[in-house]
Amino acid sequence: MIYKFGAYDLDPEMFELRRHGKPVPIEPQVFNVLLHLIEKREQIVSRDALIDAVWQGRVVSDTTLSSRIFALRKAVGDTGEAQNIIRTVPRRGFRFVAEVRCDGDEAASREADGDMVDAAAARQEIMAAEPRPAAAVSSGPATFMPTLVVLPFRIASEGLDEYFCDGLTEDVIANLTHFRELRVIASASSFHFRQRDVPLTEIAAKLGAGYIVDGSVLRAGDRLRVAVQLIEAASGVSLWADRYDRQLEDIFAVQDAITHMIVASLGVRMQDTALTRALLKSPSEMDAYDCLLRARRYTATLDEKMHEEARELLERAIRLDPNYAEAHALLANVYLAEYRFEANPRPNPIERALAMALKATQLDPQSAYAHCWLAIVHFFRKDIGKFEAEAQRAMDLNPNDPEILAEVGHYLSFQGANERGMELSGRAQKLNPLHPGWYHFSAALLHYHQCDYEDVLVDVQRISMPDFYWSHMLNAAALGQLGHPEAAQSLALMKTVKPSIRAAAEIQKWNTPPRDAAHIMEGLRKAGYDE
């Protein structure tokens, strides 16, 4: 069944809207709104009925629906004033009013159960493919997690509709739910305080939130400025503030770009704040969440002296809360360090890591970190297909987490996908300006294999991790290629950090392609290395 109206064709089977035969870009939810209105065109469709049909049980606000109606009208050349295609019926809902032509017998087609079932199936399939907010982690009562409320962004100038500011707020809330160590108050609650008629601290108290996100949107000509701040509810102190300027060429693309930056910045800042608080506690006061935060200091720095402490902290976190998915996931990564860096090794580190990572994904299939560390386990088990699948799953679940992007980029670079690895690492650096040094390793590998040896030396300086023997090895290889007299010194540092190192075997362990491996060994031999 193809529905035709004016210059447009709506093809449910191909999931395509066409104008004069050419596809019109349209978001899946907007397509489903249009399809449902056309199917029910002989009646008024209420807002509730439309939300039930398109979002199928997901909780969304009226403002979300309004933004989709606006986008739909834009896609089919309608306006809120003319309403030649979609008519708003005050206090009742919407009706599709344009004349519709169908292939075949129109009346029969509308009444055919098979077509209606196919249309419903198409909607179900596309909704299943859309990213959804992650479900809440079942962490048990022992685990403390900070609670955040995002208040509706305020309109700070003329020329903006409320739907845009509300849509931006909704997107920030939805994306923040991907940060599994935050509890985010739903918009259904936060939107009650649109008018800010009570102090922010009182709002936070009523909602049980420890932190508040407050923002405003300003339009100046063809530019948008979004100002946002993170406030500690108890003190009223602003912990972080920033503003984002974008061109108003595509309002929804602007909305997405701003959302991603805000979410990433907030996630990083919230974790930093929580860690500061955790470090002030005595061991007897720590809960599972505090243990996790402290252990993360090791994964950020790869300081071998911290490895054993991190392992003990995470094992303690799991004893306190056996269902804590993120603790299982991070412990998998810490166990992996016993294989990668031979840090305080115990028997069968890879199998220990695999068991922890699999347990994490079972406890919380929506945890991006769990899938990230499982990907790394598969990398070292040399199951590259599973590595790539789990890595992509992690990025799909949280595309704005700098740690996940950097980790995936890191391992892609090792296996020869240097450009992609550097791209992901570069995104991670922008999202986390205070990133650890190892974020630069992908660039060092890429520059080495591009024979840009001087750039490698700069990258290694940026890495600035004295215990990371790979940076010494790559530095020595680059100096060797340049014929630099300090190459021998870098070799000595590499052997000091890891006395047992056998470069060829080490390079192979990290799944380096033969051509890249030979290139690194060539540089090491020029530096004076001899196995």
pLDDT digits (tens, 9 = 90+) for 15-53: 789 988 888 878 777 888 999 999 999 889 988 888 888
Q: Does residue 131 have a pLDDT over 50?
A: no
What is the average pLDDT across 189-206? 84
**Which band of pLDDT confidence, cut at 50, 70 and 90, is reported for residue 494?**
very high
Mean pLDDT of the chain: 81
**Which band of pLDDT confidence, cut at 50, 70 and 90, is reported for residue 236?**
confident
Q: What is the pLDDT of residue 145?
A: 61
Q: Does residue 279 have a pLDDT over 70?
A: no
For residues 187 and 450, the model is more confident at 450
CA 248, 30, 124: angle at the middle one, nearest 5? 145
Structure tokens at 349: 């580190």
What is the average pLDDT across 96-114? 60
Q: Does residue 278 have a pLDDT over 70?
A: no
For residues 514 and 182, the model is more confident at 514
Q: What is the pLDDT of residue 139?
A: 31
For residues 163 and 136, the model is more confident at 163
Q: What percent of the chain has pLDDT over 70?
A: 79
Q: Does domain 147-264 have CATH number 3.40.50.880?
A: no
- For domain 281-400, give the CATH superfamily: Tetratricopeptide repeat domain (1.25.40.10)
CA 397 to chain CA centroid, nearest Å: 6
Q: Which of 213, 252, 242 is nearest to 230 (CA)?
A: 213
Q: Does residue 101 have a pLDDT over 80?
A: yes
Residue 374, phi then psi, degrees to nearest 5 = -65, -40
Lowest mean pLDDT among 142-151, 216-225, 383-392: 142-151
Q: What is the pLDDT of residue 135?
A: 30
Q: Which residues of 273-288 are buried (b: 16+ CB within 10 A; e: fewer)?
A: bbbeebeeeeeeebbb
Q: What is the pLDDT of residue 113?
A: 40
Q: What is the pLDDT of residue 477?
A: 97
Report how far residue 410's alpha carbon sits from residue 308's, in angstroms, rounded to the nearest whole number: 23
Q: What is the pLDDT of residue 263?
A: 64
Q: What is the pLDDT of residue 78?
A: 85
Q: Does residue 85 have a pLDDT over 50?
A: yes
Proportion of the chain in helix, strand, coil states, percent, rounded to 5? 55, 10, 30
Measured distance between the N- and C-terminal CA atoms of the chain, rounded to whole angstroms:
71
Instruction: Report the CATH fold assignment for 3-129.
Output: Arc Repressor Mutant, subunit A (1.10.10)
Lowest mean pLDDT among 67-76, 359-368, 390-399, 483-492: 67-76
- Global confidence as pTM: 0.58
Across 233-310, the runs of DSSP E, i.e. the strands, are 238-247
- Domain ranges in the chain? 3-129, 147-264, 281-400, 402-531
Structure tokens at 117: 């079932």
Q: Could you check whether 281-400 and 402-531 share the same CATH topology? A: yes
Per DSSP bridges, beta strands 3-5 and 101-102 are antiparallel
Taking the CA atoms of residue 444, residue 446, residue 448 and residue 451 in that order, the dihedral angle to the nearest 10 degrees is: -140
Q: Which of 228, 253, 125 is nearest to 173 (CA)?
A: 228
Q: Does residue 343 have a pLDDT over 50?
A: yes
In residues, how long is the chain?
531
Q: What is the pLDDT of residue 435?
A: 80
| pLDDT per residue as tens digits for the range 49-72 | 888 888 765 655 565 677 678 778
What is the average pLDDT across 164-190? 75
CA 316, 320, 326: angle at the middle one, nearest 5? 75
What is the average pLDDT across 162-187? 74
**Which band of pLDDT confidence, cut at 50, 70 and 90, is reported for residue 349?**
very high
Q: What is the pLDDT of residue 221?
A: 81
Residue 142, phi then psi, degrees to nearest 5 = -75, -20
Report how far residue 425's alpha carbon sits from residue 430's, in angstroms, rounded to the nearest whole number: 9
Q: What is the pLDDT of residue 143?
A: 43
Report how far residue 190's alpha carbon sits from residue 201's, in angstroms, rounded to the nearest whole number: 13
Highest mean pLDDT among 228-237, 265-274, 338-347, 505-514: 505-514
Residue 247, phi then psi, degrees to nearest 5 = -75, 140
- The residues facing 150 across adjacent strands are 213
For residues 10 and 402, the model is more confident at 10
Across 141-222, the runs of DSSP E, i.e. the strands, are 147-150, 154-155, 183-184, 211-220
Which amino acid belongs to residue 233? Answer: A
What is the average pLDDT across 303-331? 90
Instruction: Report the CATH fold assignment for 402-531.
Output: 1.25.40
Beta-carbon contacts of residue 418 (< 8 Å; ≥ 6 apart):
412, 442, 445, 446, 449
**For tokens 């399939």, what's the residue?**
125
What is the average pLDDT across 398-408? 86
If DSSP codes are grouped into helix, strand and coil, which group holds residue 10? strand
Q: Does residue 138 have a pLDDT over 50?
A: no
| pLDDT per residue as tens digits for the range 453-493 | 999 999 999 998 888 899 999 999 999 999 999 999 999 99
- The residues facing 514 across adjacent strands are none
Report how far residue 265's alpha carbon sits from residue 269's, in angstroms, rounded to the nearest whole number: 6
